[in-house]
């Protein structure tokens, strides 16, 4: 038993180190003004990475644009996904396989390839280099995740609960608020998280559709090969909304 406990503790320590060490290096790189080999720690600490990253206001504008697009995409994806997820989750389709496969197509194909294919239509519609164009492009990728995740929340138990509430004379809107949303809250929180993260991390489609009005990933990526400090600083900035979204989804999804 002691050996088993020691092995379990060693395994936990290894996992924690495996996940924390890269993040520690990222933090050190972000706050390093000078870090050259073979030194294991930066020779000088400072905020050059953040100053250079925000020089000219490009990163700040890209951050605001990315947040706006991600929030709108999340809301629209959930609204569009709800009826489709309900049909799939309640097994109303006789042959759901082709539908699920069709939903998975944007997940399987390169976002840049899909974005390039959409660019021609977006140019005709005047949607390139616009927030509306980014929202529509990101929905193509976030919607399949939202539908597939949300469909797992529509179980037979939920259907029975709704039928029981209906038999008691509870109207559709009160039934939605009192029965459906509380029952699907954990799944709804997870679907919202997935939609947000998919939009927040989009690079290929954002570059193809709106290269002139870049999002944060589009601003960040060129620095990876040219300035490690700026890349690390913007990467930390990129992580913050994702971590906050994860915490919010975890809190919202708790069953009370």
pLDDT of residue 2: 55
Give phi and psi for 22, each to the nearest 5.
-60, -35
Give phi and psi for 164, each to the nearest 5.
-65, -45
Give phi and psi for 214, each to the nearest 5.
-70, 155
pLDDT of residue 7: 64
Angle, vertex CA 154, rays to CA 153 and CA 156, nearest 5: 125
pLDDT of residue 241: 92
Angle, vertex CA 201, rays to CA 225 and CA 194, nearest 5: 155
Tens digits of per-residue pLDDT, 36-47?
Answer: 777 778 888 888
- Dist. CA 161–CA 45, nearest whole Å: 59
Tens digits of per-residue pLDDT, 105-118?
Answer: 777 877 777 877 88
Residue 1 confidence (pLDDT) above 80: no
pLDDT of residue 3: 57
pLDDT of residue 135: 92
Mean pLDDT to the nearest integer, 164-189: 83
Domains of the chain: residue spans and CATH: 1-46 (no CATH), 62-252 (1.10.3720.10)
Ranking 31-35, 53-57, 175-179 by mean pLDDT, the lowest is: 53-57
């Amino acid at each position: 038993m002691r050996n088993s406990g020691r092995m379990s503790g060693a395994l936990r320590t290894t996992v924690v180190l495996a996940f924390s060490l890269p993040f520690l290096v990222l933090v050190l790189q972000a706050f390093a003004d000078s870090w050259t080999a073979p030194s294991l720690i930066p020779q000088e600490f400072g905020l050059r990475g953040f100053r250079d990253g925000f020089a000219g206001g490009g990163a700040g504008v890209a951050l605001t644009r990315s947040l706006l697009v991600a929030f709108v995409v999340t809301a629209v994806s959930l609204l569009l996904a709800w009826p489709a997820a309900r049909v799939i989750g309640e097994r109303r389709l006789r042959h759901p396989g082709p539908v699920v496969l069709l939903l998975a197509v944007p997940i399987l194909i390169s976002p840049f390839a899909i974005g390039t294919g959409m660019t021609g239509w977006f140019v005709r519609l005047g949607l390139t280099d616009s927030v509306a164009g980014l929202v529509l492009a990101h929905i193509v990728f976030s919607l399949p995740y939202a539908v597939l995740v949300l469909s797992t929340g529509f179980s037979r138990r939920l259907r029975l609960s709704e039928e029981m509430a209906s038999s008691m004379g509870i109207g559709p809107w009160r039934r939605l608020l009192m029965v459906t949303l509380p029952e699907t809250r954990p799944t709804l929180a997870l679907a919202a998280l997935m939609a947000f993260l998919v939009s927040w991390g989009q690079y290929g489609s954002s570059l193809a559709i709106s290269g002139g009005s870049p999002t944060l990933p589009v601003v960040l990526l060129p620095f990876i090969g040219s300035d490690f400090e700026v890349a690390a600083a913007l990467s930390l900035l990129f992580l913050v909304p994702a971590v906050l979204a994860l915490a919010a989804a975890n809190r919202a999804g708790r069953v009370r």
